[in-house]
Chain A
Amino acid sequence: MMLPFLIVIPLFGAFSMPIVSLLGRKAREAWAVIVSLATLGVAGAVFYDIWSTKKVLVYTLGAKSPLGQGVDFPIRIVWEVDLLGAIMILIVTFVAFMAILYSIGYMKHDTGLEKYYTLILILELGMLGIVMTGDLFNFYVFLEIMSIASYALVAFRTDTWEGIEAGIKYMFVGSIASSFILLAIALLYGQYGTLTMSYLAAKMAENPTVVGKVALSLFIAGLLFKSGASPVHMWLADAHPAAPSPISAMLSGLVIKAGGTYALARILFSIYGTSVGMKTVGWVIIVFACITLIVGNAMAVIQTDIKRLLAYSSVGQIGYILLGIGIGLAAYGTNAGEIALAGAIYHTVNHALMKALLFLVAGAVIHELGTRNLNELSGIAKTMPKTTFAFLIGAAAIIGMPPLNGFASKWLIYESSAIFNPVLGAIAIIGTAFCTAAYVRVLYTFFGKPSERVMEAKDPEGSMLLPMIILVLAIIVMGLFPWQISEKIMIPAVDMLKDQVHYITAVIPNFIGGA
Chain B
Amino acid sequence: MDIMTGVVYPVAGLVGLYIFVSLASLIWEGIDRKLVARMQRRVGPPLLQPLYDFFKLASKETIIPNTSNFMFRAAPVLSLATAIALLAYTPLGFEPILTSKGDVIVFIYLLALLSLFKILGAISSGNPYAKIGAAREAAIMVSREPAMMLAVFAIMWRLGKLGIEKPFSMSVFYQHNIWEIGTPMSFVGALILLYVFIVWLASEIEVGYFNIPDAEEEIAEGLLVEYSGRYLALFKLTKALKAFISASLVVAIFFPWGISGYLGLTGYAATIADLLFHTLKVFLLLFAVQSIFRATTGRLKVTQAVSFLWGRVFAASLLGSLLIAMEVIM
Chain A residues with a Cβ under 8 A of chain B? 379, 381-382, 385, 388-389, 401-402, 440, 443-444, 447-450
Contacts and interface: CB of A to CB of B under 8 A. Distances in A.
9 contacts: A379-B69, A381-B71, A382-B67, A382-B126, A385-B69, A401-B109, A444-B123, A447-B120, A449-B126
B109 A402 contact: yes
B106 interface: yes
B70 A381 contact: yes
A402 B111 CA distance: 13
A381 B69 contact: yes
Contact of B123 (A388, A401, A447): A447
B70 A389 contact: yes
- In this complex, the member of B120, B123, B131 whose beta carbon has the largest number of chain A beta carbons within 10 angstroms is B123
B106 A402 contact: yes
B99 interface: no
Interface in B271-290: none
B120 A449 contact: no
B68 interface: yes
Nearest to B113: A401
Given A379-B126, A381-B124, A448 B131 contact: yes
B13 interface: no
Contacts of B113: 401
A379 B70 contact: no
B126 A385 contact: no
Contact of A382 (B68, B106, B138): B68
B120 A385 contact: no
A382 B120 contact: no
A486 to B, nearest CB: 15
B69 to A, nearest CB: 4
- In this complex, the member of A382, A402, A447, A450 whose beta carbon has the largest number of chain B beta carbons within 10 angstroms is A447
B128 interface: yes
- In this complex, the member of A401, A440, A444 whose beta carbon has the largest number of chain B beta carbons within 10 angstroms is A444
Nearest to A381: B69
A385 B70 contact: yes
Contact of A450 (B71, B106, B126, B127): B126
A450 B70 contact: no
Which range holds the interface residue count of chain B?
10 to 19
Contacts of B127: 449
Interface in B103-148: 106, 109, 113, 120, 123-124, 126-128, 131, 138
Contacts of B69: 379, 381-382, 385, 388, 447, 450
A239 B71 CA distance: 33
A444 B131 CA distance: 9
Given A402-B106, A402-B109, A450 B67 contact: yes
B120 A443 contact: yes
A449 B70 contact: no
B222 to A, nearest CB: 16
A450 B128 CA distance: 12
B120 A379 contact: no
B109 A447 contact: no
Nearest to B135: A444
B78 to A, nearest CB: 11
Contacts of A440: 138
A441 to B, nearest CB: 11
Nearest to A446: B69
A443 B120 CA distance: 8
Contacts of A385: 69-70
B318 to A, nearest CB: 15
A312 B67 CA distance: 32
A418 B131 CA distance: 37
Contacts of A382: 67-69, 126
A379 B71 contact: no
Contact of B126 (A388, A401, A402, A448): A448
B210 to A, nearest CB: 21
A63 to B, nearest CB: 54
A382 B67 CA distance: 7
Contacts of B131: 448-449
A382 B69 CA distance: 4
Contacts of A389: 70
Nearest to A380: B69
B75 to A, nearest CB: 10
B123 to A, nearest CB: 5
Given A382-B67, A402-B109, A440-B138, 16 more contacts: A381-B70, A382-B68, A382-B126, A385-B69, A388-B69, A389-B70, A401-B113, A447-B71, A448-B131, A449-B67, A449-B126, A449-B127, A449-B128, A449-B131, A450-B69, A450-B126
A381 B74 CA distance: 12
A429 to B, nearest CB: 11
Pairs of residues from A and B, 9 with the lowest C-beta to C-beta distance, nearest first: A381-B69, A449-B126, A382-B69, A447-B124, A385-B70, A447-B123, A447-B71, A449-B67, A448-B123
Nearest to A386: B70
Nearest to B66: A382
Nearest to B120: A447
A388 B113 CA distance: 19
Nearest to A407: B109
A67 to B, nearest CB: 51
B102 to A, nearest CB: 10
Contacts of A449: 67, 126-128, 131
Contacts of B123: 444, 447-448
Nearest to A402: B109
Contacts of A388: 69-70
A440 B127 CA distance: 18
A385 B70 CA distance: 7
Contacts of A443: 120
A402 B123 CA distance: 23
